[in-house]
Structure 1
Amino acid sequence: MPHANALYGPLDPAPDAGYEDAPPRMGFFTDTSVCIGCKACEVACKEWNGVPESGLDLLGMSYDNTGALTANSWRHVAFVEQPRRAGLATPAFAHNPDGPAVSPATAALGALTSVDTGTNPGLPTGSPAAAARMSAGPQPEFLGMPGAQPPGRGTGVEERSDFRWLMMSDVCKHCTHAACLDVCPTGSLFRTEFGTVVVQEDICNGCGYCISACPYGVIDQRKDDGRAWKCTLCYDRLGAGMTPACAQACPTESIQYGPLDELRERAATRVATLRGRGVPEARLYGHDPNDGVGGDGAFFLLLDEPEVYGLPPDPVVTTRDLPAMWKRAGLAALVMTAATVFAFVGGRR
């Protein structure tokens, strides 16, 4: 990626932060079309990083027991139960010459996880039903559980057509232009050689400036000590050449880790594939280096508008106006000083 110092436009943040001969920028690509909501990423993150438990809060009737990114949830799997749009609900079943009957809605909205990842999230591994269907040939396409029952319920053949599940494993975006870095007074937040953003909790003074500066609402404070916490993209694992814990644990490869440039190419190909299979709503979020934060180190493939997943549609660096504000403040101070001097000298005369 070309290096630039402008607020907007392509920027390689590690060299910009002073790292010489920095390795390729690393990041996450989260493909929500194959997320099954298993929360393995949440568990792996907690286990590796020693993150305290979030408590058991079922949030009403939701399957989501964490609710949002917090100081104790560095990964959060969102569950969105969404009514189907008109034209997608079809009670009839289509004939599949290579396997069992599948609903047209499922076939139209699918992304063969058995091809992409070697798994079929619709069935428990090793079950007789799973073995029977796998031996029958290619399986029905699967995409964010469209019209299917909740995880672990049924065989996936008797599907509901009035709603679909959208799931997304959310995480810190590791922004190219990170406002949290701009406002941290102690240097607790720093840019790594991999282009990621990490909090050093032993230096954090709990001021909370980074929390209000984050355009995504990612950073949070723990109630017991007041310090800020968030995803580190497993900085300790990266230094050892290891994959971050959440990506390592993801059974469907919904969370993919690697050099950011490669992930962007892979994501563009994935979107083109989905749209070619009749999913025009497939889109990327946070991948554009010319957006309001200069692109994210963790970006997503979504199946609906960002607001549906609780993401801001047009995130902007909250500190983008600071240079201009300081210039205006300096100019105002000079004018006031000159006016004071003029008034004092004029008065003596």
Structure 2
Amino acid sequence: MDPSTSSGQALTTSPVGQPDAHRGPDQAFTSVEPGGPAVRAGWEEHPPRKGFFTDTSICIGCKACEVACKEWNGVPQDGIYELLGSSYDNTGALGASTWRHVEFIEQRKPLGGQTTGVTIGVPETTSYAEPSVGRAVLLGEIGGDFDGSAGADHSGLDLFGSLKPAPAQDKPLVDLGMPAFDLPSASPDAGERTDFRWLMASNVCKHCTNAGCLDVCPTGALFRTEFGTVVVQDDVCNGCGYCVAGCPFGVIDRRIGDKNKPKDDLANKNHGVAQKCTLCYDRLSENLTPACAQACPTQSIQFGDVDELRERAQKRVETLQAAGVMGAQLYAEDPDGGVGGAGAFFLLLDEPEVYGFPPDPVVTTADLPRMWKNAGFAALGLVAAAATAFVAGRR
């Protein structure tokens, strides 16, 4: 079967071939039911549903997945030379040119009930006196005039005319809560610090069972593959952007390009076209592991059959909770959830909001049947009212 005919416009049928009047286009069965989303999209013969299980508890933030994704898929660079003020991250979020994004979250709480085993001093901060030279002179903090005349004392000024830092011991150290560059135990008074951890998570398209982006695509550019994943056909997309608003996770976006570079430059590849993770559809077709999972050195990104990954993920959560990591939880894997269970789901160590994930995602087209039904009733009411007014007027 041609995959271009298996988009959200395909006939909605049940696993036994009977039309399902209770679901809209591509409101597919979850992978724990017979067939999975590929059957609902029209694939008659298909392999087991494939997906990702991302275990954030063992992510080390190396960004090997980001690099591998860009190299294999020819994704332009995005934010390589930039740093965010809130973390050591340099890409910021998923987008048309970032299909894998490793989030860095510095958090002041222990990993679990266990001790950290490391000692980290309070970040060294330098206390500064009043930086205004004029005010310092007026208050008599610096003798003489600041004009180079004899008797002027400039020992308290640096080369730029500002006051030099006062000795750190004059004021207590202040923990600003930002990433520090001091070595562990740099301070002689440092004790064991148990209220700090890094949360790192490699974010990606969720390849939802009930995919809002797929539902709203008017051209069929987005289609459901035989592996149950959702892929954009670059040559079919018209850049309308409906899918951007249709994604509850903010994953998909249109590539803007770079007008300062030639049209054939990599930065302008698929300019104006919606782009997102394909779960390396070309590699899956050759029985190869997606590039990001292949490059992950800790197996934080695990690829395989979705059903088997869910079982593995549940066992991992139980292991972590038994070790005292009570915040461990799975995200987006529930077949009864708002997206019908994602093909790419996560093990988190804190609430979804901490990672920038919506806490209770729901497919954006879930209410469309009810909305159209109500709109139809309203239209009938208006027609009836107009007809009544017309008849009454003729009398």
Q: Would you call these one fold, judging by a TM-score over 0.5? A: yes
Superposition CA RMSD, Å: 2.8
Unaligned runs of 5+ in 1: 92-101, 105-148
Q: Distance in 2 between matches of 1:290 and 1:50?
A: 36
Quote the residue 1:313 is aligned against: 359
Q: Partner of 1:65 in structure 2?
A: 90
Contact 2:248–2:364 (Cα < 8 Å) also in 1: yes
Spell out the pairing of 1:1-349 with structure 2 (5 A cutoff): 10-11=29-30, 12-55=36-79, 56-60=81-85, 62-84=87-109, 102=117, 161-224=194-257, 225-349=271-395
Q: Which deviations, in whole Å up to 9, do the C-alpha atoms of 1:204-246 show, x marking residues without a partner?
A: 1111111111100001111133221100000111111111000
Distance 1:61 1:9, change over 3 A: closer
Q: Is the 8 A contact 2:99 2:204 kept in 1?
A: yes
Q: CA deviation at 1:328?
A: 1.2
Kindly indicate whether the alpha-carbon contact (under 8 Å) linking 2:28 and 2:41 is maintained by their aligned counterparts in 1.
no
Post-superposition offset of 1:281: 1.1
The residue type equivalent to 2:61 in the other structure is: G
Q: Contact 2:111–2:325 (CA<8 Å) still a contact in 1? A: no
Inter-partner Cα distance in structure 1 for 2:112 and 2:88: 27
Shift in CA distance, 311/193, structure 1 to aligned 2, threshold 3 Å? same
Question: Offset of 1:346 from its aligned partner?
Answer: 3.6
CA shift, 1:10, in A, is 4.8
| Deviation beyond 6 Å, 4+ runs, structure 1 | none
Aligned mates of 1:297, 1:184 — CA distance in 2: 20
Q: CA deviation at 1:348?
A: 3.1
Change over 3 Å in CA distance of 1:90–1:26 after alignment to 2: closer
Richer in helix (by share)? 1
What is the CA–CA distance in structure 1 between the aligned matches of 2:367 and 2:112, rounded to whole Å?
45
Q: TM-score, normalised by structure 1?
A: 0.77
Give the length in aligned residue pairs.
291
CA distance in 1, matches of 2:252, 2:112: 40
Q: Distance in 2 between matches of 1:67 and 1:257?
A: 24
Shift of 1:197: 0.6
Tell me the TM-score normalised to structure 2 length. 0.68
For the 8 Å contact 1:184–1:210, the answer to whether it is kept is yes
Q: 1:96 aligns to what?
A: none
The code of the aligned residue for 1:231 comes to C
1:10–1:290: 8 Å Cα contact kept in structure 2?
no
Matched residue SS, 1:81 = strand
Which one has a bigger Cα radius of gyration?
Answer: 2
Structure 1 residue aligned with 2:126: none
User: Shift in Å at residue 255 of structure 1?
Assistant: 0.3
Distance 2:285 2:112 in 1: 49
